[in-house]
Structure 1
Amino acid sequence: MFGPVQMYTDINGAQQYRRVLKTDRMWFYPPDSPGHVGGSPPNADAFFRSRLFFWRPVGVWRYSLRCPRTDCPGKDKQVFLYKSGYHSKCRHVCDINGWYSMLTEVLACGPCNKTASGMGKSSSSKWGRFLAWDKSILSQLTPAHQAMFPVVLTVCRGVDKKVLQLMKDRTEGNTMAKVWRQVQENHCDEYLNRKDMYTTLLMDLLKPGSIVSSFRTNFKAPKQRWKLPSPRLLRHAFLLGEADKVEEYRTQILSTFGKVLKFDSTKKICKQLSGEGRGTAEWCTNIGNENSQIVSFVFTFEESTKMLKPIADGVIERYRLAGEDAPQLMYIDRGCCREHGETSVEVLFKDWVDNRMVIRLDAWHWMHRFDAAVRNDSHPKFGLFKSALAGTVFAYNKADMDLLVKAVRAGSDNNYSGLSDTELIHQRISSLTVKHYLRRITQGSQETFMLLDFAIETLKGNAGLDENGVPLFKSDTAIDEVWTQQQRHLECIQDPPNMPMYRVAKISSKNGIDIPYYTCMRGNNSLECFHSHLPKMIPGPNCAARPRCIY
């Protein structure tokens, strides 16, 4: 830790010697544990040493920091904090597989100390002094320098950021109790490895006939393993660390825009609210874009125009301030059209609708409405009916199909000459390949009406019966009622004219032929996936309102 011995002259003019801390590092590592027996018995402390982190942004980086006090006399002057020794308090930090100690330097403000001395304050020695690990000091550093601070400090201890990184995986079952068990296992393994090395060397010394065994030397017992902080403390440290990044996350969300928006709500995540926030929200409404990014979100007690008006006005104002053009298209799951007057969505986004934004109904939500007339989803003809629904609305792009067939044929020596294009598609092309390399287009409201009407009439007959003679539909009247209600939405599920619904994510090479890899921008599927993943992002079955916002 210390450099060469230096000589200096004190206030009395006498020559003194001192050892000064090294100014080129903040991490200090102990010597390696001994691996063999030397001339004397090993000391137990040599096997359980830990590293030291000495936080010195001014002493090492020569950083210029200002006094954090709002009433500092030198606030309007070019006055910076200077080093004023080191703090006597040592923090023990929980690492991923052990512990280490942490010290910090003390920074002082000259104008504050001078003012405090003139006012005769009894605590003038502490009035203008600050610890370098205080949040008011850390906030003055650049993001790159803040990232070099490895600890999230609690009241008495600290937790290394590498431990908290384990909590960032937003998957089901990744709770702080699981992280705590993993860290505890790492601590136990590290401690037992060090203890095993110490006892192994002692056993070598105690072999029969050795000098140490003849003198019956008493050896020092290995130190006890430090108790790991509780899962609750680790969770508290994680929330403290993430709370400092809320403004960064907010900036990322507020800088997200899109030309194709998706508007949808869910109740799944609100059921987990506990504590003071329980019962204060029933709906989580999200607005996403064509890149599966969240543009904005809000928790509301009810899904009404009055409650959703602030989020709509906020997003419209954000687009205006950023100079972004109004979105061209918005997909919703209901409320797309009304016989008289404006719909609720048209009222919320009136400024965009006036700028020719098109509102469309998600086709998959429209198809699910036919489930009300189906007997049950386990019926053998249920999958056939769903496939027929999709086939009446969408059709594959012929140019993409021809290019994919050409690429598949190029992978065979005889170009699969014995197979027709239809047979090749069914035998050699998987559904996943079709999903990513073929674009689909809507067939138009009239074509959809004729095809779906024919499919429904066909499945009303013998084609809709299973092997036991059970029909697919509850009754002919039930399917006719649903079909009559959904006919008015046939125009709402069609793609806007002259607007591409796919973007090229990359260019793939298949058997030497370049094929575009497409990503679909149509519908609310991306938001539906996000809603299904939301409950898994919260560790545990219940969570209070404030921690939920951080998660």
Structure 2
Amino acid sequence: MDSTKKVTKKLAGGIGGSAAWMTNIGNEFGQVLNSVLTTGEGAGLEELCQGIVTRYKNVGKDEPEVIYVDRDCCSQSGVSSVTKLFHPWRSAVRLDSFHFMRRFNCGLTTEHHPLYGTFCAKLSSCIFEWDQEDVQGLKEAKRGEWKSSHSGHEPTEEQLLATITSGEQRRHCRRRSRGVEDIRRMISGLLESVWELTDTTGLRLVNHDTMHHVWEVQQKHLECLQDPPGLKLYTKVV
């Protein structure tokens, strides 16, 4: 479930300014199941969510194992407001990793900084790790290709890794969330490494005070990034 202002800003004519937020609910196939326009974020969502619950019930589809959201993933009371919206479902609620990473933008001086893309890529690698069985399978396949084209000679590890493109790794290898403490340690290390980085004009990548606050607040959501045990995050396409 995701809310955005971008769509409502495009409303024109008599309906211009009549809505401030658009909330969408999608499924594991990337299909949008329903949308609603509201005057405020989080307002009027119960009917939307209960409509989805009813549709699942009517077609005999099991409730999802997990619901990914852009906000309200957890609560000090222990029960997320999202859980209440989708009652009586008992689905786990998790924070979408993309929205978690976007929150770090508040600690950057600008999204147009030359190092912005590099920072985002490294932040993503702090959260996700490659499935090592998949990586090993890809390496064995590339090893066979190398030997076929090099008269049976065995490649070194460096040569083997050089033959694997990022596109091939994304296509053939699955990713999963790292553990809470691994994410905490790696993001802390990333931030330590970028505090003093600047572009050629001397513009810093990071606003120290703001980023310190962002990281302090977001650490409580690291648990919300964890994939539920046994959850299959990938769909096999035949």
TM-score normalised according to structure 1 size: 0.40
Hey, what's the Cα distance between the residues in 2 that align with 1:385 and 1:277? Answer: 39
Hey, what's the Cα distance between the residues in 1 that align with 2:107 and 2:54? Answer: 43
Matched with 1:299 is 37
SS of equivalent to 1:504: coil
Instruction: Give 1:397 shift.
Output: 0.9
Hey, what's the Cα distance between the residues in 2 that align with 1:380 and 1:335? Answer: 32
Instruction: Give 1:362 shift.
Output: 0.8
Matched with 1:397 is 131
Matched, 1:317 2:54: yes
Matched with 1:386 is 120
Structure having greater relative contact order (Cα 8 Å, sep ≥ 6): 2
Instruction: Give 1:264 shift.
Output: 1.1
Matched with 1:266 is 4
Matched with 2:160 is 424
1:448 maps to which of 183, 197, 217: 183
Hey, what's the Cα distance between the residues in 2 that align with 1:374 and 1:281? Answer: 29
- Structure 2 unaligned residues grouped into runs of 5+: none
Matched with 1:288 is 26
Decide whether the 8 Å contact of 2:3 with 2:70 is kept in 1: no
**Alignment RMSD, CA only?**
2.3
Instruction: Give 1:323 shift.
Output: 2.6
Letter of the 1:265 counterpart: S
Letter of the 1:442 counterpart: S
Q: Within 5 Å, which residues of 2 pair with 1:108-507?
A: 263-305=1-43, 307-340=44-77, 342-352=79-89, 355=90, 357-412=91-146, 413=148, 414=150, 417-420=154-157, 422-425=158-161, 427-461=162-196, 464-466=197-199, 470-475=203-208, 477-506=209-238
SS of equivalent to 1:472: coil
Instruction: Give 1:403 shift.
Output: 1.1
TM-score normalised according to structure 2 size: 0.87
Letter of the 1:437 counterpart: H
Hey, what's the Cα distance between the residues in 1 that align with 2:189 and 2:13? Answer: 54
Decide whether the 8 Å contact of 2:20 with 2:38 is kept in 1: yes
Instruction: Give 1:301 shift.
Output: 2.9
Matched with 1:205 is none
Change (3 A) 1:270 1:380: closer
Letter of the 1:430 counterpart: T
Hey, what's the Cα distance between the residues in 1 that align with 2:11 and 2:118? Answer: 40
Hey, what's the Cα distance between the residues in 2 that align with 1:402 and 1:285? Answer: 40
Decide whether the 8 Å contact of 1:270 with 1:282 is kept in 2: yes
Decide whether the 8 Å contact of 1:361 with 1:493 is kept in 2: yes
| Number of residue pairs aligned between Structure 1 and Structure 2 | 235
Letter of the 2:160 counterpart: L
Change (3 A) 1:482 1:407: same
Change (3 A) 1:467 1:284: closer
Hey, what's the Cα distance between the residues in 1 that align with 2:199 and 2:63? Answer: 50
Decide whether the 8 Å contact of 1:333 with 1:362 is kept in 2: yes
Letter of the 1:295 counterpart: L
More helix by share: 2
For residues 73-106 of structure 1, the C-alpha deviation after alignment (integer angstroms, 9 at most, x for no partner) is xxxxxxxxxxxxxxxxxxxxxxxxxxxxxxxxxx
Change (3 A) 1:265 1:479: closer
Hey, what's the Cα distance between the residues in 1 that align with 2:191 and 2:92? Answer: 30
Instruction: Give 1:469 shift.
Output: 5.1
Hey, what's the Cα distance between the residues in 1 that align with 2:118 and 2:14? Answer: 48
Change (3 A) 1:268 1:419: same
- Structure 1 unaligned residues grouped into runs of 5+: 1-262, 507-551
Decide whether the 8 Å contact of 1:409 with 1:416 is kept in 2: no
For residues 151-205 of structure 1, the C-alpha deviation after alignment (integer angstroms, 9 at most, x for no partner) is xxxxxxxxxxxxxxxxxxxxxxxxxxxxxxxxxxxxxxxxxxxxxxxxxxxxxxx
More strand by share: 1
